[in-house]
Amino acid sequence: MGRKRARVKGDVAEGGRSRVSARIRAAAYALFSQLVASPSDAAFAGAALPPDLSEALEQLGEHLPYPFDWLPLAGVAEALTDRDLRRIVRAYGVLFEVGSDGPPLAIREDLAEGRPAGTKEEIVRFYEHFGYRLSKDVQWAPDHLSVELEFLHFLAFKECREKDPEKAQPFQLGQVDFLERHPMAWMPDLASRVGQLAGEVYHRRLFQTVDAFLRADLDWQKTTVQRK
């Protein structure tokens, strides 16, 4: 189920780039931004882990314009109990937010190992160039993975809103450029380390799934982006 390629009404061709595919991809980025956000920033059961997560993943798996394996994460989500949710909240803090020498894993790009000086400033310049405004609660961490994914949601949504292909092109190119320069420059290593350090399966599956989605989306975008 998770690997079939859906024909979406309104696409230029099966698997092609269109306003419809942009809207679906924007929804995917919004969902994953929500899932990797700190559970301390919102009511966890309603925001960081939506009760309809399995259904949302199934819809993405069916309608994204490229194969995407959503089943591993959906299976884990379906089996979670209230006790599991409380444990996941604590586990997120242990992995990403606390520690005498800092958290074991950096979920902010500027703090990730090997990232160059000026990373945060470059990210902010991307945001400013495309008119993406940070909400007050995340202004201190524009390089948080959740914020980077929310920015990609913003770009895909802007692409979706443009009826003129030429006007949509900057948002397409921006997605490819930002993905390559930022999330894909450090997310694969983070996902690998979460797989090694996370004590519960939910976070291992979540970051594995987000990593797989970003890889698939970037590969697809490179072959479909409208270039002059």
Provide the domain count of the chain.
1
What is the reported pLDDT for 30?
Answer: 95
Q: Name the pTM for this structure.
A: 0.89
Alpha-carbon separation of residue 202 from 88, 110, 133, 198, 209 (angstroms): 8, 25, 31, 9, 10
53-96 pLDDT per residue, tens: 888 999 998 999 999 899 999 999 888 887 888 888 889 989 99
161-219 pLDDT per residue, tens: 999 989 999 999 999 999 999 999 999 999 999 999 998 899 999 999 999 999 999 99
In sequence order, what DSSP letters do the residues of 164-177 get, joined into one string? SHHHHHHHHHHHHH
Q: How far apart are CA 130 and CA 198, in angstroms?
A: 35
Residue 116 contacts residue 92 (beta carbons within 8 Å): no
Q: Is residue 2 part of a domain?
A: no
Q: Is residue 46 part of a domain?
A: yes
Q: Tell which residue, 103, 109, 52, has the closest CA to residue 78.
A: 52
Q: Is residue 11 part of a domain?
A: no
The CATH number covering residue 143 comes to: 1.10.3480.10
Q: Is residue 147 part of a domain?
A: yes
Q: Is residue 65 part of a domain?
A: yes
Q: Is residue 208 part of a domain?
A: yes
Q: Is residue 105 part of a domain?
A: yes
Q: Is residue 156 part of a domain?
A: yes
For residue 193, give its domain range: 19-224
Q: How far apart are CA 154 and CA 127, in angstroms?
A: 10
